[in-house]
Structure 1
Amino acid sequence: MTGLDTTVPHSARRYNYWLGGKDNFEADRHSGDAIAERWPDIITAARENRLFLRRSVRYAVRHVGVRQFLDIGTGLPTADNTHQVAQAIDPFCRILYVDNDPLVLTHARALLTSTPEGGCAYLEGDVRVPEKILEDPALQETLDLSQPVVLMLVAVMHFVSDADDPYRVVATLLDALPSGSLLVLSHASYDLIPAEQAARLIEEDYPGKEGFHSRTRAEVSAFFEGLRLLGQPGPAGGGSRRPGLISEWRRGPEDGQVPPRSAVSTWGGVGRKP
């Protein structure tokens, strides 16, 4: 696995650690523990992100009828991966997974198998360079860009700094997708974290801090500019014009009790391209 440095924490492996997985290294665990020491609810937030992914994929297939997924920042395989959720509803769904951690792609190729009717492919790529993802033959071979695609950016964009122009990244990806495509995005924020815990996360030094970029609800809303938000609660059933908390988006009884908002503090939603 070229490019794998086990001495540097990686967000996908740290996320795996928080979810109780075993595909992580000492650096990932050290970083995960350092963040959890400052904000113990990070484990709840990570679990809620996974539930949001599951609900949004089901919604895309069942209610919107989209059968193709471009999942960037895939993370290490766990239960209810994108293709498993989608193909359980329609086995003809097709998914392209993209991640910049070689360990993620190695595990994905070994463990994430598609239904015979559908398709799964895997691409090592960096969301900060969307042009390379869009130009890769694997994308053209897996997805039909004349038909709507779900762009999955779940817990990814808070690892893209302002210097890398995150809004250009998302706009570039969406511009390549046809009308009717969806953006599924979640983004962590300090908005609802208790002030004392947020201060520690912002002011103290710890492994993993340098790669994280909190954004406010208004800043997360900007990722959805020009899109119609779907499935959002709002006045008189009209829906909200801003993304809400991921833990509240179309939550069902199977997802358990809604955690306190301060334990999630992650904005997200599903937007449809006109």
Structure 2
Amino acid sequence: MNDGPHVDLQTGRAHGARIYDYILGGKDNYAVDRAAAEATLQIWPALPVHMRANREFMHRAGRYLATECGIDQFLDVGTGIPTSPNLHEVVQEVRPESRVVYTDNDPIVLVHARALMSSTEQGRTAYVDADLRAPDTILDSPEFRETLDPNRPIGLMLIAIAHFIEDDEEALTATRRIVDVLPSGSYLAATIATDDFAPETLAGVRRTYREHGETLRFRTKAQAARFFEGLDLVDPGLVQMHKWRPDTTPQANDADIAMYAAVARKP
């Protein structure tokens, strides 16, 4: 990707994907991202536990959709900086023919998009430089239209992305715009940020993110549930993400996990 046109990496402000990358031990981040992460860790030392739990939910949800629901095509909006195993690696292990379209609005993800486009010979991956706030940009892209079959069920992954859209109606409208075009039998898997379990601590986290130029919007369980309206929730429903079909007994404290998660089927 470095041979392409110049990309403005916007290093003057923190970006959630790069903060996430730093906390997970990655190297695709800048001083402003590291400063935001370190300031947040001073307030909330459990941030790495929370972020790992989010990544683990994505793996479990993707594996569940591929293994138990027969889903072999996915749209991952807000994928973040490539960190193996990525979604296509998880689902292609189960279904080698799986196709995955990744999207993100962070320019550094665009720079590293080739890492997201490795695939089995039977499957296929693609990347769209787009923002959830403009869902038609995703849906109208040739990458989406040429990679995924709109007549067959699709797994939509919205992992740790809604909290970057402060306005509830804007976030809901964007999500529903995508869900509405998916065929019956498709699924939505999402994690929604919340401060229900540690409100005082997370008020400080939100303030720190804002000071470094990044939005952070927490939602109650009732507000998170609105993203799944009209869909059939898969057991155990909307729960803290470390409690959604864990591979082992959850070890994290509830106060250390600041996201709800659910998987739901479109009737």
Fold match, TM over 0.5? Answer: yes
Deviations 1:133-166 (A, max 9, x none): 1111110011001000011100000001217611
1:109 and 2:114 correspond? yes
1:217 aligns with 2:217: no
- Pair 1:180 & 2:185 matched: yes
Post-superposition offset of 1:198: 3.2
The question of 1:139 aligning with 2:144 is answered yes
In the superposition, the TM-score normalised over structure 2's length comes to 0.93
Partner Cα separation in structure 2 for residue 14 and residue 55 of structure 1: 23
The partner residue of 2:260 within 264, 267, 273 is 267
Decide which of 88, 95, 98 is 1:90's aligned counterpart.
95
Distance 1:91 1:197, change over 3 A: same
Alignment correspondent of 1:230: 234
Runs of 4+ in 1 over 2 A off after TM superposition: 198-210
Offset at residue 197 of structure 1 (A): 1.5
Deviation at residue 202 of structure 1 after TM alignment: 5.1
| TM-score, normalised with respect to structure 1 | 0.91
**How many angstroms apart in 2 are the aligned matches of 1:203 and 1:155?**
18
Aligned to 2:65: 60
Gaps of at least 5 residues in structure 2 are 1-5
Residue by residue over 1:47-102, the C-alpha shift from the partner in whole angstroms, topping out at 9 and shown as x without a partner, is 00000000000000000111101001011111221000000111100000001112
Paired position in structure 2 for 1:252: 247
* CA RMSD after TM alignment: 1.7
Letter matched to residue 102 of structure 1: P
**AA partner of residue 262 (structure 2):** G
Q: Aligned partners of 1:96, 1:124: CA distance in 2, in Å?
A: 11
Moved more, 173-182 or 162-171: 162-171
The number of residues matched between the two structures is 262
CA–CA separation in structure 2 for the residues paired with 1:248 and 1:257:
6
Equivalent residues of 2:243, 2:250 under 8 A apart: no
Is this contact kept in 2: 1:77–1:112, CA < 8 A? no
Counterpart secondary structure, 2:112: helix
